Structure 1
Amino acid sequence: MSLADVIEPLQQPLFTLLDTPVSWTEVLGFGSGALCVWLVAGQHLANWPVGIANNLFFVLLFTQAGLYADAGLQIVFITLAVYGWWTWTHGGGPGSDTLPVRRTTRTEWGWLLTAGAVGTLGLTLLLDRATDSTVPFWDALTTALSLMATYGQCRKRLESWWLWIAADVVYVPLYAYKELYLTSLLYVGFLTLCFLGLRGWSRDLDGRRRTVEKEAVA
């Protein structure tokens, strides 16, 4: 059995939403994506393998939809997921098997914003000239924002949630425009989960800071 034989059934319509066929790939991407974000919000290590499965489904989905930057982005996400998986279990320093939530430093913001701007410009030009993409800028922008957010997620930076929120605000209408209605709906759910994740990580950070202050006074 070839890879094409395995992929072909996943691309078949499962049902119709707003007169648009919805494939197994989109449904599986919907479910695994929602579960992944929920696990990240709760700082569950299982978010990484679930996220890798979600990335594989989205590679197929976005390639079909002509969102080439987003499709390529999933491959990068898989690489970052392996890094994030390791960091969450080994990045807390000597004697620690967990990585604490921290704020993004000014230095990190500086190179993140620079890389994001350069990446958006470069991808826009590439997609406009080398592909048949109808939304090169928006595809490039969401790609850059997602990579910035994923780095923050790997390092448990609180502000990574704000980057995800910014990306999702663009993703929702972008996917609706591409008639990926179920995926667009998924990203509405992502927005809600992002705010919940932001609140949860903020509480964790505040709680750890109060504990440090009490220990210092004692």
Structure 2
Amino acid sequence: MKITLEIAGTIFGFLAVYLTIKENIWCWFFGLIQVVIFVFIFYTAKLYSDMILHIIYVFLQIYGWYHWKYGGKNENNLQITKITNTVLWVLLTLVLTFVLGYLMQLKTDASFPYPDAFTTTASLVAQYLMIKKKLGSWLFWIVVDIVAIGIYFNKELYYTTGLYVAFLIMAIIGYFQWKKRYKKDLDYAK
């Protein structure tokens, strides 16, 4: 059952990221299915920070769909923009990582409390920035994917590890595709 769920979550996760790169609003639907599946996977793997993250993702998937549909000018066509206050986002990620990691280490039997807390907090920042269509969100995802690959491999979640290797490659592609689109939109606006 665990492997079947992991394979299904992997497929839906791959589709969600692929559609995000393409700026297709269906990314949020496939993402919703993926995050629900991974709530159960991470609970059984004792990756509680990741489990909490995926519970929050359920709501962020719904908000992301809404924002991409109605968040642009005249309620359409949300544009890619650059992140402002990058240092603030990085500091927020690090502080929240320390707090969550400490709580997980102190109060639970969590595996990898600090790396798991990092992937959780950095993913929340990345997801929020993705919802807002910020180009730099992909850079957060790249770092998250690198750390997550190590965690999931060590927990013997091999399909999930493979998914995050694919996510890493897709995040790099997504960054360059969104950057190209961002520059094109800037040129068009001139």
TM superposition score normalised by structure 1: 0.84
Q: CA deviation at 1:49?
A: 1.0
Where do residues 175-194 of structure 1 align in structure 2 (5 Å cutoff)? 175-194=152-171
Letter in 1 for 2:141: W
Residue 123 of structure 2 is aligned to residue 146 of structure 1: yes
Post-superposition offset of 1:84? 1.2
Shift of 1:189: 0.6
Determine whether 1:90 maps to 2:70.
yes
Q: Once structures 1 and 2 are overlaid, which stretch shifts more, 116-125 or 145-154? A: 116-125
RMSD over aligned CA atoms reads 1.1
Specify the structure having the higher radius of gyration (Cα): 1
TM, length-normalised to structure 2: 0.96
Q: Which residue of 2 aligns with 1:130?
A: 107
Residue 160 of structure 1 pairs with residue 137 of structure 2: yes
Unaligned runs of 5+ in 2: none
Identify the residue that residue 48 of structure 2 maps to in structure 1.
Answer: 68
Change (3 A) 1:111 1:80: farther
Residue 20 of structure 2 is aligned to residue 43 of structure 1: no
Write out per-residue CA displacement over residues 73-122 of structure 1, whole angstroms, 9 at most, x where no aligned residue.
001111111111111111112x241210000012xx24422321221011
State, as a whole percentage, how many aligned pairs show the same letter: 33
Distance 2:175 2:92 in 1: 23
SS in 2 for 1:158: coil
More helix by share: 2
CA offset digits 1:140-164 (Å, max 9, x no partner): 0111110110011000000000000
Is 1:81 equivalent to 2:58 in the alignment? no
Question: In the aligned structure 2, how far is the partner of 1:129 from the partner of 1:96?
Answer: 46
Q: 1:33 aligns with which of 13, 16, 41?
A: 13
SS of residue matched to 2:110: coil
Aligned length: 190
Query: Counterpart of 1:189 in structure 2: which amino acid?
Result: A
DSSP 3-state at the match of 2:13:
helix
Q: What corresponds to 1:20 in structure 2?
A: none
Q: Distance in 1 between matches of 2:140 and 2:128?
A: 10
Q: Aligned AA for 1:46?
A: W
Please identify which structure carries the higher strand content: 1
